[in-house]
Chain A
Amino acid sequence: MPGPAQDGLPVAASPAAALIPAMTRICGAAGVVHEPSQLATYECDGLTSHRTAPALVVLPETAEQVAAVVRACAGAGVPFVARGSGTGLSGGALPRSDGVLIVTSRMRRVLDIDPVSRRAIVEPGVTNLSVSKAVEPFGFFYAPDPSSQVICSVGGNVAENSGGAHCLKNGFTVHHVLGLEIVTPDGELVWLGDGTGAAPGYDLLGAFTGSEGTLGIATKIVVKLTPLPEAVTCLLAAFDSTSAGGTAVSAIIAAGIVPAAIEMMDALSIEAAEAAVHCGYPEGAGAVLIVELDGPAADVEVDRAAVRSLCEEAGAGEIRIADDPAERARIWAGRKSAFAAVGRISPAYIVQDGVVPRTALSRVLARISELSDSADGVRVANVFHAGDGNLHPLVLFDDSVPGAGAAAEEVSGRILDLCIEAGGSITGEHGVGVDKSRYMTRMFGEDDLDTMQMLRCAFNPRNLCNPGKVFPTPRLCGEVPGVRRAPHPAVASGEVDLF
């Protein structure tokens, strides 16, 4: 929700700015940011095309401080937005110019590890990967692994119900979070769920997970720990086309194999990855398929042989198999770099996150290719989680060419229409946020959205908690397209991958 640009007027008179003394009492002077130059740091999340500097940023260190901050906001009628690491890709943590941004990055303690119960309790600012690192000595990991796992926060994962390449087998955040302490939009601390997965009453824990910060702020998270697999193997197969690769994917699924991950890249994204990281994928491939298998050693061995022969039957050229971590990392390097890499072959791009039924992949990819051919100055590179039909089309264009942005936006929207027509979804893992709220009416009817809003009203009746996200509002309908002009700073510096 882009508010008015910074207009240089003093903001001291705004209700949010009037909260500075109260916020300083709650979080300490070091926990409150209100200098315009510092506020600019927080003006966007991973979706950099939407920017709004908040009126005020607070950095609480405890759940009680979050609750006090929210009570102060509620008391003053000031909107508030929670933010974890700011890696989200739909603008879910986009601040309000008239609101308070509550950043959880100082709440990063792993509070408890219970290896016998296979549970850990963490604070929301803990990064995803550090949970797995903390529990690894006990023989466990935390299964959801969004590509940004080095820096993304578990609290943000809860808000977005984050997936990742390996959710094909292991499921999403909602399958691995068993309890949440939340601050309600009134500022009360309440537990949803009890860590057992069998708590009595409505499954508010499940409903809260993936609600994109609109129902409250998670302050403690009980996560399920999964035993580390005995064996992991990764197979890379080159195909002439994504269609041939798609045939292999269908055959693998039909054979009753559930790989940990199945990823595919098309020729254009291979070209970009090659330019960026020299990943050395088979030359001239029209598509590469990456299949990762994990589990008990004997089962992995059987499945690996089966996947290999199914790929061969589907017409795979070169097939590489990587069993040790270094070899696997080399295979994944190209895939993981693909998004940052398209920056090398295109000045600007839009990322989409549509989902189609797996069996519709080939058909939809062919239609995307037609769309791309028929739009002037727009190309589409495809990198996707083929196992669950989650497409990440990158709509490439030159933003210095007049009209190219609009054409790219048109193609981008048409891709989502294709996904919906095929029985899929407008977002598989990035969330709706501000970026896709205007597409919600293409997927859901009025009564569907009204019913979802009833849930919001139960938690957040005054709509002060992350307003303007998820649901279309008149104000968002004419929104500027979600053009990505610059990579997230951490991506640009090569620290992390986002997709």
Chain B
Amino acid sequence: MPGPGAGVSGAEVAVALAGTGAVVSDASPADAVAGVRPACVAYPGTVEQAAGVLRAAASLGMTVVPRGSGRRISWGPPPARCDVVADMTQMNHIIEHAAGDLVVRAETGVLLGQLSKVLTEKGQRLALDAPAAATVGGVVATGTAGPLRLRYGTPRDLLIGITVVRPDGRVAHSGGKVVKNVAGYDIGKLYAGSLGTLGLITEATFRLHPLAAMSAYVTRHYDDAAAAAEAVLAAAASPLQAAAAEIERDGPGAPVQVGILLEGTPDGVSERADRMAALLGHGARTALTPPGWWAARGEAAPGALGGTLIRVAFWAAELRRVLDAIELVAIETQLRPAVGGSAGAGVLYVSLDAGEDADQVAIFIRALRAATGHGGVQDPGALARGSVVVLTTPAAVQASVDMWGPVPGLDLMRAVKRQFDPANTMAPGRFAGGI
């Protein structure tokens, strides 16, 4: 992967971008991306302007980091270089809500809250958990998902069409605005979760779901983690159609909260809630609102989430082993990790406070990878069955830990990056395997 050369001066950048029609401003310290300050920020308002920004950048070999709301922009490793931040928040129109087709097409800078308001009026929703202040493009580019992952998957599962600007400034579409569509490759899959490394996402089209007539949360706390693990997995596998199966534990040795979301018709949900409560056992309670800890731990959480956040993915049958491993490593490192997330779907988030000692945090991450079997060198011929990815951590920890860990299929990913971004100008160094 060719590395970007030396930075381009602010004056050069401004001149190059002047003809694109995009608003351009000098960068302030607040525009820094994981500590790397760009020369300027471009605010394209149209696809044409976005294309102009990337064409201009490509002509000068300038590096570009796309930005949505900016709330997660400093998650992940810093870019190897950043000349321009492409702020997509001016592209903020909902282009079409085809309610009868359960489809919405939106520009990349549309806020999830803005979208939700429009959809709710028609009794519909984008079945994703993401902060209201997040942008459509940001959610797609980061692959943000929360509790609804169990039933509805992640943004890639709901994305049915996409418009992107390639690093060479050409505009490409894939998919469309019908849910059932196998014409051509699904380029949207590549861009979902690509963290800005393949170009700018300018529009996204999603399939929608009806708002549930009723939602119920069946919760119970368990003193014994093994019993909690067994219960949450039984709930996820039951025919009671759980939309989410979550756990939360605020520290080693603490009780484990289990919460199951049921959605559907009022009669159906109340009947299922009774049966789910019986499944969870004595002490289970049903409420119409989520418990306070719901979706508070992971990438979909509304808060700032400083410190260290680790995503552990695994085959659900390993849940108890994963919980034990976290406990064990916590004892070894004398850290107090909190754990929560979509246990039923095999995804947990482990968080450590910002004030923890960087060396201990690095040891914790390495030990957790070893204990869960997701460390070491990835044999591309072997099924990995999980991963331990550090979503965010202080720079001092990043210095001694690979945030991504082993990545299956990395050689092919590098080949994709070379095809799409041969000059390596889009968010260089921020992605898996140093892409």
Instruction: Contact check, B187 vs A198: say whether CB atoms are below 8 A apart.
Output: no
- Of the candidates B166, B265, B405, the one having the most CB atoms from chain A within 10 angstroms of its own CB is B265
Return B181 CB to nearest CB of chain A, in Å.
Answer: 4
Residues of chain A within 8 A of B103, CB atoms compared: 357
**Does B233 count as interface, using CB distance less than 8 angstroms?**
yes
Instruction: Contact check, A195 vs B385: say whether CB atoms are below 8 A apart.
Output: yes
Range of interface residues on A (Cβ < 8 Å): 35 or more
A184 to B380, CA, bound (A): 12
**Does A277 count as interface, using CB distance less than 8 angstroms?**
no
Instruction: Contact check, A429 vs B180: say whether CB atoms are below 8 A apart.
Output: yes
Q: A193-B408, A196-B346, A359-B98 are contacts. A302–B389 as well, Cβ < 8 Å?
A: no
Q: A194-B385, A201-B407, A298-B271 are contacts. A423–B416 as well, Cβ < 8 Å?
A: no
CB-based nearest B residue for A210: B182
Instruction: Contact check, B418 vs A458: say whether CB atoms are below 8 A apart.
Output: yes
Scan residues 291-329 of chain A and give those whose CB is less than 8 A from a CB of chain B.
Answer: 295-296, 298-299, 301-303
**Which one of B176, B193, B384, B418 contacts A202 once the chains associate, using CB atoms below 8 Å?**
B193
**Which one of A174, A193, A454, A470 contacts B184 once the chains associate, using CB atoms below 8 Å?**
A470
**Does A114 count as interface, using CB distance less than 8 angstroms?**
yes
Contact with B along A434-445 (1 / 0, CB 8 A): 001000100111
**Does A8 count as interface, using CB distance less than 8 angstroms?**
no
Contact with A along B378-403 (1 / 0, CB 8 A): 00111111110100000000000000
CB-based nearest B residue for A356: B178
CB-based nearest B residue for A160: B182
Residues of chain B within 8 A of A197, CB atoms compared: 149, 153-154, 313, 345-347
Residues of chain B within 8 A of A140, CB atoms compared: 237
Return B277 CB to nearest CB of chain A, in Å.
Answer: 15
**Does A171 count as interface, using CB distance less than 8 angstroms?**
yes
Return B36 CB to nearest CB of chain A, in Å.
Answer: 22
A191 to B378, CA, bound (A): 10
- Of the candidates A190, A207, A390, the one having the most CB atoms from chain B within 10 angstroms of its own CB is A207
Scan residues 181-225 of chain A and give those whose CB is less than 8 A from a CB of chain B.
Answer: 181, 184, 188-204, 206-207, 209-211, 220, 222
**Does A448 count as interface, using CB distance less than 8 angstroms?**
yes
A85 to B194, CA, bound (A): 35
A301 to B233, CA, bound (A): 27
**Does B334 count as interface, using CB distance less than 8 angstroms?**
no
Q: A117-B317, A258-B209, A355-B180 are contacts. A452–B185 as well, Cβ < 8 Å?
A: yes
- Of the candidates B98, B149, B184, the one having the most CB atoms from chain A within 10 angstroms of its own CB is B184
Residues of chain B within 8 A of A167, CB atoms compared: 180
A440 to B419, CA, bound (A): 22
Return B394 CB to nearest CB of chain A, in Å.
Answer: 20
Residues of chain B within 8 A of A227, CB atoms compared: 237-239, 241
**Which one of B237, B267, B383 contacts A195 once the chains associate, using CB atoms below 8 Å?**
B383
A118 to B150, CA, bound (A): 12
Scan residues 211-255 of chain B and give those whose CB is less than 8 A from a CB of chain A.
Answer: 211, 213, 233, 236-241
Return A221 CB to nearest CB of chain B, in Å.
Answer: 11
CB-based nearest B residue for A220: B383
A121 to B315, CA, bound (A): 13
Total number of A-B contacts with CB less than 8 angstroms? 296
Instruction: Contact check, B412 vs A448: say whether CB atoms are below 8 A apart.
Output: no
Return A150 CB to nearest CB of chain B, in Å.
Answer: 21
A321 to B248, CA, bound (A): 44
CB-based nearest B residue for A428: B180
Binds B, one of A233-241, A249-257, A491-499: A249-257
CB-based nearest A residue for B123: A256
**Does B192 count as interface, using CB distance less than 8 angstroms?**
yes
**Which one of A194, A207, A250, A258 contacts B384 once the chains associate, using CB atoms below 8 Å?**
A194
Contact with A along B69-111 (1 / 0, CB 8 A): 0000000000000000000000000000011111100000000
Scan residues 363-392 of chain A and give those whose CB is less than 8 A from a CB of chain B.
Answer: 385, 388-390
**Does B371 count as interface, using CB distance less than 8 angstroms?**
no
**Does A139 count as interface, using CB distance less than 8 angstroms?**
yes
Return A352 CB to nearest CB of chain B, in Å.
Answer: 13
Instruction: Contact check, B239 vs A228: say whether CB atoms are below 8 A apart.
Output: yes
Residues of chain B within 8 A of A179, CB atoms compared: 383
**Does B293 count as interface, using CB distance less than 8 angstroms?**
no
Instruction: Contact check, B100 vs A388: say whether CB atoms are below 8 A apart.
Output: no
Instruction: Contact check, B190 vs A207: say whether CB atoms are below 8 A apart.
Output: yes
Instruction: Contact check, A359 vs B100: say whether CB atoms are below 8 A apart.
Output: yes
Instruction: Contact check, B413 vs A202: say whether CB atoms are below 8 A apart.
Output: yes
Return B355 CB to nearest CB of chain A, in Å.
Answer: 27
Q: A196-B387, A299-B268, A388-B179 are contacts. A201–B413 as well, Cβ < 8 Å?
A: yes
Residues of chain B within 8 A of A359, CB atoms compared: 98, 100-101
A447 to B209, CA, bound (A): 32
Residues of chain B within 8 A of A425, CB atoms compared: 176, 178, 180-183
Instruction: Contact check, A458 vs B100: say whether CB atoms are below 8 A apart.
Output: no
Contact with A along B272-316 (1 / 0, CB 8 A): 100000000000000000000000000000000000000101111
Scan residues 162-209 of chain B and give those whose CB is less than 8 A from a CB of chain A.
Answer: 164, 166, 170-174, 176-187, 189-190, 192-194, 209
Instruction: Contact check, A203 vs B173: say whether CB atoms are below 8 A apart.
Output: no
Instruction: Contact check, A455 vs B185: say whether CB atoms are below 8 A apart.
Output: yes
A175 to B152, CA, bound (A): 9
Q: A114-B315, A191-B383 are contacts. A296–B409 as well, Cβ < 8 Å?
A: no
CB-based nearest A residue for B172: A451
A440 to B181, CA, bound (A): 13
A449 to B170, CA, bound (A): 12
Residues of chain B within 8 A of A388, CB atoms compared: 178-180
CB-based nearest B residue for A461: B415
**Does B210 count as interface, using CB distance less than 8 angstroms?**
yes
Residues of chain B within 8 A of A457, CB atoms compared: 419
Instruction: Contact check, B386 vs A447: say whether CB atoms are below 8 A apart.
Output: no
**Does A332 count as interface, using CB distance less than 8 angstroms?**
no
**Which one of A116, A301, A432 contacts B317 once the chains associate, using CB atoms below 8 Å?**
A116
Residues of chain B within 8 A of A430, CB atoms compared: 182
Residues of chain A within 8 A of B268, CB atoms compared: 295-296, 298-299, 302
Instruction: Contact check, A444 vs B173: say whether CB atoms are below 8 A apart.
Output: yes
Return B415 CB to nearest CB of chain A, in Å.
Answer: 4
A228 to B265, CA, bound (A): 19
**Does A426 count as interface, using CB distance less than 8 angstroms?**
yes
Instruction: Contact check, A449 vs B184: say whether CB atoms are below 8 A apart.
Output: yes
**Does A161 count as interface, using CB distance less than 8 angstroms?**
yes
Residues of chain A within 8 A of B170, CB atoms compared: 447, 450-451
Return B159 CB to nearest CB of chain A, in Å.
Answer: 10
CB-based nearest A residue for B190: A207
**Does B156 count as interface, using CB distance less than 8 angstroms?**
yes
Instruction: Contact check, B184 vs A432: say whether CB atoms are below 8 A apart.
Output: yes
Instruction: Contact check, B272 vs A200: say whether CB atoms are below 8 A apart.
Output: no
A175 to B189, CA, bound (A): 12
Return A498 CB to nearest CB of chain B, in Å.
Answer: 16
CB-based nearest B residue for A188: B380
Return B427 CB to nearest CB of chain A, in Å.
Answer: 13
Instruction: Contact check, B177 vs A229: say whether CB atoms are below 8 A apart.
Output: no
Return B237 CB to nearest CB of chain A, in Å.
Answer: 6
CB-based nearest B residue for A64: B381
**Does B264 count as interface, using CB distance less than 8 angstroms?**
yes
In the complex, the 10 A-B pairs of residues with the closest C-beta atoms, listed nearest first: A299-B268, A206-B189, A256-B210, A451-B172, A198-B313, A116-B317, A201-B432, A194-B384, A117-B315, A359-B100
Chain A contact residues, CB within 8 Å of chain B? 114-119, 121, 139-140, 160-161, 163, 167, 171-172, 174-175, 179, 181, 184, 188-204, 206-207, 209-211, 220, 222, 227-230, 250, 253-254, 256-258, 295-296, 298-299, 301-303, 355-359, 385, 388-390, 423-432, 436, 440, 443-445, 447-452, 454-459, 470
8 more contacts with CB within 8 A, not counting A201-B404, A256-B211, are A115-B237, A174-B189, A198-B154, A200-B407, A253-B100, A296-B240, A299-B241, A454-B420
Pull 28 A–B residue pairs with CB atoms less than 8 Å apart, ordered by A.
A115-B237, A116-B316, A119-B315, A139-B239, A167-B180, A171-B157, A190-B412, A193-B409, A194-B383, A194-B386, A199-B407, A199-B408, A202-B413, A206-B190, A207-B185, A207-B186, A211-B185, A256-B211, A299-B268, A355-B178, A388-B180, A424-B178, A427-B183, A440-B183, A443-B176, A450-B170, A458-B418, A458-B419
